[in-house]
Amino acid sequence: MNLFHKGLCTLLLLSLTTLAHAFDLQQLSEQLAKPSVIHGAFIQEKHLRSLPQPLTSKGNFVLAKDSGLLWLLNTPLKQDYRITCAGIARREADDSWQMLPGKSAGAEQNRLFLAVLQGDSSGLQRDFELHLSGDAQAWQLTLIPRSLLLQQIFKQINIDGGALVKRIELLETQGDSTLLKMIDSTSAKPLSDSERADFAD
């Protein structure tokens, strides 16, 4: 075997090895579904065509694999939301939770956040075409809506992450967009008693 053929065989073997170890949606789902609880902070920028500056909100979140998502807004106003399979609830002044109507574009966004953060790729695949690139340490996932309903709301959704989701960008059909940055996310802390109570309520 001459050097050319040896080199060709080596290249083929390398490409096959790379294909065999390519990072796929199943691996991404398993990676994101591993942590039972994730705590972190977020910055959300809502870019509206009618405004020169984005509307920025900040807060904290708690994602519990078996319970749902607590979305705790601190600025510009203080408001707590709980997102579960049952829907979206808002904390009232008396500390009780009030379920919100589930048909709005905002509700659709929050349902998406929950599916993405929990690594529910099978749920996402029902509604979107998924295109994944990168590896376990640095990946990018692009979601293109399948259904007419979602096509009326979103043009495309871009998600970036590593061990956990770091960034979600929602590009809306009408030209507006939302950028969500997850900061200081950690899977090292368990649920506190008050967080457990919020999910159980």
What are the domain boundaries of the chain? 32-200
Q: What is the pLDDT along the chain (201 residues), one digit of tens a residue?
A: 444 444 444 444 443 333 334 688 889 888 888 889 999 999 999 999 999 999 999 999 999 988 888 999 999 999 999 988 778 899 999 999 998 886 655 666 667 777 777 777 777 888 889 999 999 999 999 999 998 888 988 899 999 999 899 999 999 999 999 999 999 999 889 999 999 999 987
Q: How long is the chain?
A: 201
Task: Pinpoint the alpha helices (H) of 97-183.
Answer: 105-117, 121-127, 148-153
What fold does the segment set 32-200 form as a domain?
outer membrane lipoprotein receptor (LolB), chain A (2.50.20)
Other Cβ atoms less than 10 A from the Cβ of 164: the count is 18
Q: Under a CB-based contact definition with an 8 Å cutoff, are residues 143 and 156 in contact?
A: yes
Collect all residues with Cβ–Cβ distance below 8 Å to 135 and sequence separation of at least 6.
Answer: 23
| pLDDT at residue 68, rounded to an integer | 87
Separation between Cα atoms, residue 80 and residue 184, nearest integer Å: 19
Q: Is 174 helix (H, G, I), strand (E, B) or coil?
A: coil
pLDDT at site 104: 57
Order of strands across the sheet with 154-161?
97-99, 87-91, 79-84, 68-75, 55-64, 37-47, 177-186, 165-172, 154-161, 139-145, 128-134
